[in-house]
Structure 1
Amino acid sequence: MWQTLALGALLFPALFAACLRSLARLAPGWSRKDRIVLSGRLVSSTQAMMATLSGIVVICSCKDVVHDRHWLAQEYVWIVVSYMTYDLYIMYLCYWHKSEEKGEAPRKHSLASMTGFLRRERLMVTHHIFILVILTPVAVHLRGELGDFFVGCIYTAELSTPFVSLGKILMQLNLQDSLLHKVNGILILATFFLCRILLFPFMYWAYARQMGLPIYKVPFRIPFHCNVANALLIAPQLYWFALICRKAFRLYSSSPSPDRNR
């Protein structure tokens, strides 16, 4: 536990610092804000790929979705803890530098600055704190030795993150009208829907198949707190998916038609 937590606490800040230093050499004309934002997205994508691969390994190793164990299900929780803690600070850093560029930033690390950040990013901050305060104890202690398969499923929810980050990076590079951005938009929709929306019915279906139950009986057979946790997890995903669909509609509806190009 402590070794894994320490590894994550060192890994993500080190990756961020390395990206920041590399961008200073590769793009010296960029502002510090742009370098910080891009570095944060690159580290976020790295963690997402690590989580997805860990989840796939756990899922493929657990034939019995209730009782089978895999060490990654437990150990990667501490990587998630270290990443979420790191990411809260990087989110604040990005917020402050964006505000500073607009001339709206109060003194760094002041109460006014922190309050503005919490107000602006309240949903993402709540999401991170929920994972740290609620899901971590559940994943490590309260579930006992059951459900590594489902922990692996939750890890794979990160599959959409690299595509979301790539979309933001392309916009940062003023490539929002490129074909790559449009193709990436489709991949965001597909991976987000599969791994953050359909993931939850899939977990209920996997349990139903294991237990020989119809899927509609599963919510009444599993502990109540599991249903509550799933509901709290899927609620922000549905909200974010609606936002993604709205942005995708604007992106594709604004594409020039053949008649306009004549």
Structure 2
Amino acid sequence: MFSALAYGAVVFPGLFYGFRTLLRRTFTRWSDADVVCVSERLVSSIHACLATAAGITVVTNCRDVMTDSHWLANGFALFGAPYMAYDIYAMYLSHYHVQRARGHSGSYGGHSLQTAKAFLVKDRMMVVHHLALLLVFLPITVFFRRGLGDFFIGCLFVTELSTPFISMGKIFIQLGLDDTRLYRLNGVAVLLSFFTCRLLVFPFMYWMYGRQFGVPLHRVALHLPLHCNLGNLAILAPQVYWFSLLLRKANRLYLRQKGGPRDGDKDGPKAD
């Protein structure tokens, strides 16, 4: 079973290294920041596509939401766990090179505790999210579920569906294509996929549970243990925050297209 963990520890850093090498040779005028940022986004998209495919497979093969099982529920959780650790490092590298490219050479002359601290301050929400998935979600999924609830684990995997669209938006910006129709269409896909797969998925899970056990949707939470509701709330809360950032960014883009005031864009969620 833990061979999946070893495969993940090789695959994701290997893809990152491979993309960096390929992009550096292909786009010789790109800076290190361009290469690292796009490589990170490409690996994130691959992980998200694999997670979504695994989630759909688990969900469609579990008719009983509590007792039916599928090997991918634990298998992909272990395979994807190293991605969370790798991605923290990749995000740090991206932050480091972007800041150097912006001319902050005094503060970013080399890797140090100062640069690491600046990264943690800037991306603390995403770092905490990754660590929580690695240190809390993974042990619960693999060791403490007693084989129950594979359907819900599959639903949580499907939340990654929005990540490739978010990553593509960042790549479009990197390539200077943020004023194109394709970028705007991708933005619509971001909002729809994020709202559907990261927000609506939670009432969907409660509805499926209530449907199986004959409990009205508005009373399902009362039938579940407190720790289940708190766990779902802990996962949902950052999604609501990130969705609000996406809406603000979409509003700025809309105002810009209408000739209104243009605020400085803030980074939206990376979303795993």
Query: Which residue in the other structure is 1:77 paired with?
Result: 77
The structure richer in helix per residue is 1
Q: What residue number does 2:112 align with?
A: 110
2:270 aligned partner: none
Partner of 2:16: 16
Task: Show the counterpart of 2:241.
Answer: 239
The structural deviation recorded for 1:103 is 3.4
The match for 1:96 is 96
For these two proteins, the number of residue pairs brought into alignment is 257
Where do 5+ consecutive residues of structure 2 fail to align? 260-272
Match of 1:26 in 2: 26
**Alignment-mate amino acid for residue 165 of structure 1:** S
Partner residue of 2:183?
Answer: 181
Secondary structure at the aligned position of 2:20 is classed as helix
Listed as ranges, the matches of 1:82-231 within 5 Å are 82-104=82-104, 105-106=107-108, 108-231=110-233
Amino acid corresponding to residue 36 of structure 1 in structure 2: V
Q: Deviations over 1:54-89 (max 9, x none)?
A: 000000000001100000001111122111011010
When structure 1 is superposed on structure 2, of 96-105 and 199-208 the one drifting more is 96-105
Contact 1:107 1:113 in 2 (8 A): no
Identify unmatched segments of 5+ residues in structure 1: 258-262
In the alignment, which residue of structure 1 is the partner of 2:265? none
How far did 1:115 drift?
1.0
Measured against aligned partners, the alpha-carbon deviations of 1:124-171 in whole angstroms (never above 9, x if no partner) come to: 011011111111111111211100000000000000000000111111
In 2, the alpha carbon distance for the partners of 1:167 and 1:102 equals: 20
Moved over 6 A (4+): none
The two structures have a TM-score, normalised by structure 2, of 0.92
Structure 2 CA distance for aligned equivalents of residues 155 and 43 of structure 1: 16
Q: What do you get for the CA RMSD once the two structures are aligned?
A: 1.2
Deviation at 1:244, TM superposition (A): 0.3
Query: How far 1:255 sits from its partner (Å)?
Result: 1.5
Secondary structure of 1:254's aligned partner: helix
